[in-house]
Structure 1
Amino acid sequence: MKFQATDISQTASAATVIFDALRKAIIQGDLADGEPLRQEEIAKAFHTSRFPVREALTRLEQQGLVKTQRYKGAVVATLSMQEAGEVFDLRAKLEADVIRQAVPNMTPDTLQSAEACLEKFAASDDPMIWGQLNRKFHGALYSVSGMPYHVQVIENAMDRVDRHLRAQLVMSGGVDRSTEEHRAILTACTAGEAETAARLTFAHIQDAKASLQAQLQSAS
């Protein structure tokens, strides 16, 4: 199994450290769909007992990143086309609402932060940071929405599909199109056009959904 381990034998929050490390490895694709997550092996890597490992796996299962299978134990959850569609439909609705509320509260600093992420995304040729920059772009715009619970739900939903989106961008050459869509959203935000920003955000996420589902279909 591929993940970044550390010695946490003296760490009080061992479960949190393990949770963060495994979550990162799953989102980045270092741990593949269906890969077993053996408690004993993970505990040995982190120099701890199995109890914090079990707690970390339970938290990951609650986020939909891990599933427990009979006879196999915990494995990295596989994303089906149906589930991908549900995740993106949820994101499209929530993110349109959030950005609609955020636009009137956006300051020059807010817009500059989002633009900086957009430019880095457009200039990068490293697939491993595309997902991170994409999330930072949207997160910068949503940060002033005053809807922290909605934003947290969006973050959890993005965790579920992040590694698949990165692969889709690589295989479909979708970075340029995503950049254009991001620019259009940012332009609407800069102009204070909340409804336009909401409409473009909804369409942007639905476009990503269609592209990812096509990629999953071709791979099946």
Structure 2
Amino acid sequence: MQLKSVDVSKTASATTIIFDALKQAIVEGELEDGTPLRQDEIAKMFNTSRIPVREAILKLEEHGLVTSKRYKGAVVSSLTQDEVREIFDFRALLESNVIAKAVPKMDDQVLRKARGYYEALATSTDPSEWGDLNRKFHETHYAASGLTYHLAEIDNALNRIDRYLRARILMDNGVVRADSDHQEIQEACEAGDANRAAELTFRHIEKAREKLLAFLD
């Protein structure tokens, strides 16, 4: 199992540290679908007892990243194509609404930060950066909304599918970097056009859904 181990024997937040490490490994695809999460092995890696490991795995189950299976214990969750469709439908509705609320609140600092991520994504030649830059570009826009509950739900939805999106981006050889959708969304935000930003975001997510389903198929 490939994880960044940390000695948490003297740390009060052992559960949080283990949860964050496992979540990152799952989201970034280091732990593939169906990978078993063996509590003894993980506890040894982090130099702790099984208790915080068990608590971290329970939190991962709550986020939909881990499933408990009979005779196998906890394993990394997988998604059916119907589940992928449902998550993307949810994202399209939620994210288009959030960016519409965010645009009027975007100041120059937010817009510059988002454009920085867009330009970095368009020019990066490092595949390991593409997934992170793509996500940061969108999250920077959404954060301006101040809708903390909505943002948490978006984060959870993205965590469920992020490893598949990252794999597709790599298989596309970085086509997403040159996607005109990003430029149009950024320009709509800079123009203060909330309705257009929402419409573009909705279409962008629908397009990503179809590309991902084709990739999974």
Report the TM range for the smaller structure's normalisation: over 0.9
**SS of structure 2 residue aligned to 1:75:** strand
**Letter in structure 1 aligned against 2:33:** D
**SS of structure 1 residue aligned to 2:92:** helix
Q: Which runs of 4+ in 1 moved over 6 A?
A: none
CA contact under 8 A between 1:122 and 1:175: conserved in structure 2? no
CA contact under 8 A between 2:98 and 2:150: conserved in structure 1? yes
**SS of structure 1 residue aligned to 2:74:** strand
User: Tell me, which stretches of 5 or more residues in structure 1 are unaligned?
Assistant: none
Residues 66-91 of structure 1: CA deviation (Å, up to 9, x unaligned): 10000000001012111111111111
**Letter in structure 2 aligned against 1:137:** F
Task: Count the aligned residue pairs.
Answer: 217
For 2:62 and 2:128, how far apart are their aligned partners in 1? 25
Partner of 2:146: 146
Residues 18-29 of structure 1 mapped to structure 2, 5 A cutoff: 18-29=18-29
Residues 178-217 of structure 1: CA deviation (Å, up to 9, x unaligned): 6311110011111111111000000001111100011111
Partner of 1:54: 54
**Letter in structure 1 aligned against 2:124:** S
**SS of structure 2 residue aligned to 1:47:** coil
**SS of structure 2 residue aligned to 1:7:** coil
CA contact under 8 A between 1:118 and 1:179: conserved in structure 2? no
**Letter in structure 1 aligned against 2:207:** D
Residues 1-220 of structure 1 mapped to structure 2, 5 A cutoff: 1-173=1-173, 175-176=175-176, 179-217=179-217
- Offset, 1:176: 4.1
CA contact under 8 A between 1:121 and 1:179: conserved in structure 2? no
> Structure 1-normalised TM-score?
0.95
For 1:76 and 1:185, how far apart are their aligned partners in 2? 34
For 1:139 and 1:178, how far apart are their aligned partners in 2? 18
CA contact under 8 A between 2:130 and 2:177: conserved in structure 1? no
CA contact under 8 A between 2:98 and 2:145: conserved in structure 1? yes
User: Tell me, which stretches of 5 or more residues in structure 2 are unaligned?
Assistant: none
Closer, same or farther: CA 185–165 of 1 in aligned 2, 3 Å: same
- Offset, 1:126: 2.5
- Offset, 1:6: 1.0
> Structure 2-normalised TM-score?
0.96
**SS of structure 1 residue aligned to 2:67:** strand
